[in-house]
Chain A
Amino acid sequence: MSGRITSSLKQLWHKLGSPRWFYEITHNWVRFFGVSALLLLTVGFIWGIAFAPADYQQGNSFRIMYVHVPAAMVGQSLYLGMGVAGFVGLVWRMKLADVAIAATLPLGIGLTALALFSGSVWGRPTWGSWWEWDGRTVSTLVLLFLYLGIYALREAIADSNLRARAAALVSLVGTVNIPVIKYSVDWWNTLHQPASFSLTEKPAMPPEMWLPLLVMALGFYCFAAHNVLSRMRLEVLRREGKTRWVNELFAAPAASQSTER
């Protein structure tokens, strides 16, 4: 019995690794995440900008939070996702893992940079300077450098197979190191700036303020899922361009459309 379960699990695993299966199953997911992202981001944005009450200390400038916090969260999660993909790629040599890393990199870099930029814009009215060496800022900056390191490494390796393995290894090493780096930076931060003013962890943020934040965060996650998945699908097509199923896919549309209607 258990043998049957493990064998069917193995089959599922094998299926997961098949680019074709991935391409077919994600067709609807991409749409779902795209529509959800559009809805959530629109609702969250209007809610956060127009309806959430102004902060009693910071006035309206706190509204940057609705971009800053989700961008930072998703930026971090994406790196974690790359680490998982790296592990899968190294251990099971799954091709799709590298597709995932390649598709995640640009978005991760973009969102982490956005988090730093919006943090800086937010910091100007709040802290009085464009840049503070706050623990969270430093961690995010290091995260950006970890992303850029993988990016640079991928650019430097010509052979696609080796590029995949190297990128997988570095994402995994980076992911293992992130908690250590984060902890050490926090430790450093308390040492040097004991009275750092924490913006996002205010004990009592009223629901009218954090609900739109929640919606925005969900919206960002959906957007990231949409973006990464559609980029992965494109990459799968590019890599599998010579295989039969892709050729059939592009030879068929005329025929299949006419039968649908």
Chain B
Amino acid sequence: MLDNPPSQTYNADQAAAHDNEPLLRTSTLVCQRDHQDLFEPLDLTVMPGDCLELLGPNGSGKSTLLRTLAGLHSQFSGEYKSVGLVYQGHRLGLDELLSPLENLAWFSGLQDQALDRSEALRLLARLGLLEQAHTPCQRLSAGQQRRAAIARWLMAPQSLWLLDEPFNALDVQSQQLLNELLSEHCAGGGAVICATHLILQVAEKTTVQLQPQSGSDL
């Protein structure tokens, strides 16, 4: 649920149907770069099932907001509280020397879990990467690498996804698949915050428009 911008298209009744612990809550959060405020204070509450579409002009701080929520950016005022999350930045987080499968294994290892190999292969198959499962990522195309990164979110146990321009480099078919996956994830009690220039084609979503801070010329 969203308190601040008026441009919301959210059905509050359905959120109550889910578990009522918020996955993420921010209060008067403002991110800064070099002591410059990037956007107007933000009050967000993200419940299970929410799908937030984060819009805003270039330089309005979409990426910085996601990085802040992921704990990668420490210059901010206000507060936020969040559960464990999956973050997808501009850099995919795939080791290009390793195959998609090995990357997934590394990621599971990072979280101190063993890789469920059959599950991983099933996901890669759905993403159309079964043939490339053992090919080092540096030999995959940009779109294929993107899809390999998607497998990482799907494998992760965390239910909150922070995605920064996930549609980049994807062809029309893959974009459609990603929209489907996002809808499924939210329907299954997960939540998504997605910074994008494309309009999300999901069943229900909330739009958050980041307002660039007045006086900021960024």
**Contact, chains A and B (beta carbon distance below 8 A):** yes
Which A residues have a C-beta under 8 Å from some C-beta of B? 159-161
Q: How far is the CB of A26 from chain B (nearest CB, A)?
A: 23
Q: Which residue of A lies closest to B35 (CB)?
A: A160
Minimum C-beta distance from A96 to chain B (A)? 15
Report B28 CB to chain A, min CB distance, Å.
19
Q: Is the interface of B mostly helix, strand, loop or mixed?
A: loop
Complex-state Cα separation, A161 to B34, whole angstroms? 7
Contacts of A160 in B (CB 8 A): 34-35
- Which residue on A lies nearest to B74, using beta carbons? A161
Q: Known contacts A161-B35, A161-B74, A161-B75; can you find 5 more A-B pairs with CB under 8 A?
A: A159-B33, A159-B34, A160-B34, A160-B35, A161-B34
Q: Which residues of A contact B74 (CB under 8 A)?
A: 161
Q: How far is the CA of A159 from the CA of B33 in the complex (A)?
A: 8
Least distance between B173 CB and chain A CB atoms (Å): 40
Closest 6 A/B residue pairs (Cβ): A161-B75, A159-B34, A160-B34, A160-B35, A161-B74, A161-B34
Instruction: Report chain A residues within 8 Å CB of B34.
Output: 159-161
Q: In whole angstroms, what is the CA distance A160 to B34 when docked? A: 6
Closest to A239 in B: B35
**How long is the Cα–Cα vector from A160 to B32 in the complex, in angstroms?**
12
Chain B interface size range: under 10
Instruction: Give the contacts of B22-67 with A (CB-CB under 8 A).
Output: 33-35
Complex contacts, A159 vs chain B, CB 8 Å: 33-34
- What is the CA–CA distance of A160 and B33 in the complex, to the nearest angstrom? 9
Contacts of B35 in A (CB 8 A): 160-161
Q: Which B residues are in CB contact (< 8 Å) with A161?
A: 34-35, 74-75
B38 to chain A, nearest CB (A): 14
Question: In the bound complex, how far is the Cα of B33 from the Cα of A161, in angstroms?
Answer: 9
CB distance from B93 to the nearest CB of A (A): 21
Give the residue name and chain of the A residue nearest to B32 (CB): A161
Residue pairs across A and B with Cβ atoms less than 8 A apart, 8 shown, are: A159-B33, A159-B34, A160-B34, A160-B35, A161-B34, A161-B35, A161-B74, A161-B75
Query: Which residues of B62-109 are within 8 A (CB) of A?
Result: 74-75
- From B33, which residue of chain A is reached at the shortest CB distance? A159
* A158 and chain B: residue at smallest CB distance: B34
Query: Which residues of A are found within 8 Å of B75, using beta-carbon distances?
Result: 161
Bound state CA distance, A186 and B48, in angstroms? 63
CA distance A160 to B74 in the complex (A): 12
What CA separation (Å) do A160 and B75 show in the bound complex? 11
Which residue from chain B places its CB closest to the CB of A161 in the assembled complex? B75
CA distance in complex: A17, B167 (Å): 45
**Distance to closest chain A CB from B170 (angstroms):** 32
What is the chain B residue whose CB lies nearest that of A165? B74
Q: Which residue of B lies closest to A159 (CB)?
A: B34
Q: How far is the CB of A58 from chain B (nearest CB, A)?
A: 54
Kindly state the separation between the CA atoms of A159 and B31 in the bound complex, as whole angstroms: 14
Query: With A and B bound together, what is the CA distance between A161 and B74 in angstroms?
Result: 9
Residue of B nearest to A160 (CB): B34
**Chain B nearest Cβ from A76, distance in angstroms:** 32
B33 proximity list for chain A (CB < 8 A): 159
Q: Which of B168-216 contact A (CB under 8 A)?
A: none
Smallest CB separation, B71 vs chain A (Å): 15
Taking the closest CB of chain B, its distance from the CB of A100, in whole angstroms, is 18
| A215 CA / B7 CA spacing, docked (Å) | 71
Q: How far is the CA of A159 from the CA of B75 in the complex (A)?
A: 11
Closest B-chain residue to A93, C-beta based? B74
Q: How far is the CB of A66 from chain B (nearest CB, A)?
A: 44
Return B153 CB to nearest CB of chain A, in Å: 28
Give the Cβ gap from A48 to chain B, nearest Cβ, in Å. Answer: 47
Distance A189 CA – B214 CA, assembled complex (angstroms): 63
Instruction: Give CA–CA (A159, B74) in the complex, Å.
Output: 12
**Alpha-carbon distance between A101 and B75 when the two chains are bound, in angstroms:** 20
A200 to B35, CA, bound (A): 48
Q: What's the minimum C-beta distance from B154 to chain A, rounded to whole angstroms?
A: 33
Shortest CB distance B99–A (Å): 34
Nearest-Cβ distance from residue A158 to partner chain B, whole angstroms: 8
Q: How many angstroms from the CA of A159 to the CA of B34 in the assembled complex?
A: 6
Give Cα A161 to B75, complex, Å: 8
